[in-house]
Amino acid sequence: MSRPRELIHWHDAGWCLRTNRWCEKDLVRRYFACVSRLGDGVFWYALMAVLVLADGEDGALAAAHMALIGAVALLLYKGLKRWTRRPRPFAADGRIRAWVAPLDEFSFPSGHTLHAVSFTIVALAHYPMLAFALIPFAASVATSRVVLGLHYPSDVLAATGIATLLAGSSLYLLPAVLMVG
C-alpha cells in the first residue's frame, strides 16, 4: 500500500467505518438521518422562502443567488459522479451500513455537502447574522453523509472545496453582473 491513492482510500474507509458505528445508537442515527433528509433540499428551500417573505426584494435577490448556485452545484456534482463512478462506502465494504437510502448510485463528491456549503456561504454573504444556525447545520449535513455510510470523508472534503470555490466565485462575479443589469 505504497501508492498515495491506496493510502488515502484506506484512511477514508477506516474513518467511514468508525463513524458509521455511531449510528448503532438510536438517537445519533435519528439525528443524522433527520439532518440528511433536511439537507435533501427542504431546509434550503424553506430558507429561501423565508428570506423572500422576511426581506422582500433583498431576500428575493439572496434566494435567487442561492437558487442559481444550487443549479450549478447540481450540474457539477452529477457530472463528477458520472465521470468518477466511485462506489459508495456501503457498496464497497460490507462492514459499512447505509443507515438511509442513497439518492443515487455514486459517492464522489457529496452533493448534500456541496449544496450545504455553497448555500451557507451565499446566504451568509447576504445575511451574516444567520451564521449561528447555518454553520452548524451545514457541518451536520456534511458529517451525516459519512456517519450514515453514504460517503467517504474525501467525498465530503472535496465537495466542501468545490462549494467554496463555486460560492466564492459567484460572490466575486455577482457585483459585476448586477452593475451590468
Note the pLDDT tens digit of each residue in 34-72.
Answer: 999 999 999 999 999 999 999 999 999 999 999 999 999
Question: SS3 breakdown of the chain: % helix, strand, coil, rounded to 5?
Answer: 80, 0, 15
Note the pLDDT tens digit of each residue in 73-114.
Answer: 999 999 999 999 999 999 988 899 899 988 888 999 999 999
Q: Which residues contact 76 (CB under 8 A, 6 or more apart)?
A: 114, 162, 166
Q: How far apart are CA 122 and CA 46, in angstroms?
A: 15
- Evaluate whether residue 2 is within a structural domain: no
- Evaluate whether residue 110 is within a structural domain: yes
Domain limits at 84?
25-180
The number of distinct structural domains making up the chain is: 1
Q: What is the pTM of this model?
A: 0.90
Contact 164, 117 (CB under 8 A): yes
CATH for 50: 1.10.606.20
